[in-house]
Amino acid sequence: MTALAGYGVLRSGILDDGIPLLDEGQGLLNPNDEDFSVEGQGECRTPESLESFKTLGGARLGYEIDRTKATYKADPRFIELLEEWAEDWVKLSGLGALTKVWSYGAYVDKCSSWHQAGRAFDFAELEHEGGKVSCRQDKWGEDGGRMRSYWRLAASLHEHFAYTLTCRYNEAHRNHIHVDNGVSGWDRSAFDPGSRVQVQMVQNACRYVFGKDIDLTDSYDDQTKDAVRSVQKSNGISRPLAKADGWREFLRATASA
């Protein structure tokens, strides 16, 4: 067993191409990691279907802990969602094609997590032709430049997955961004001012991407609303976050900033 930042990971099995395969019961294991939507808390899930995949957006997948090539499993429809995100992100990021995606895994047989349904994925770092975006906030802390790139990526993920957990969610997520579709299902996300993870996205975008002087309160309070209105005005956004188009425009303006 190899451990990193509270995560125990088991590796075994070899595919025909010599690449390690994360089998059932293997992958990201962290009993304190709350990778679930509130309505799914404590549940165990049986995957409807699982499919192996070793690329995302045309880029080879890698295992963050030992930095080797990896093949993961996920629900095939969830893989399609990831591919849709990747195509969109490449267009918005301005960094060119993806060349490597480092991850902690997808499917893992662990209750209370959408990983068990094969409908979750953990991002550690993205490599592009024109640069890298790291999700390893545990390594670089509050560095302004890295935070700006981090929250641009997070905005892109938030558009496609309502349940996107970042370094602000808890200590366990300082080394990766978790996404699942337990809340948004097979549709794009919508803004809920009562969602802590979405408010965290909004506040950190305002601070680190758009340079607004805002406190990170995890609450959609008056200072946050004022900052959002300023960002909307500067980016020609007339629709409020409560409208699907307004939320999408805010996130895409952040991702492409």
Mean pLDDT of 136-159: 97
pLDDT tens digits for range 30-75? 333 444 443 345 689 999 999 999 999 999 999 999 999 999 999 9
- Residue 22, pLDDT > 90, answer no
- Which DSSP helix (H) or strand (E) runs through 210? none
- Residue 188, pLDDT > 80, answer yes
Higher pLDDT, 17 or 248: 248
- Which DSSP helix (H) or strand (E) runs through 10? none
Whole-model pTM: value is 0.86
C-alpha distances out from residue 122 to 83, 94, 107, 203, 229, Å = 14, 22, 10, 22, 32
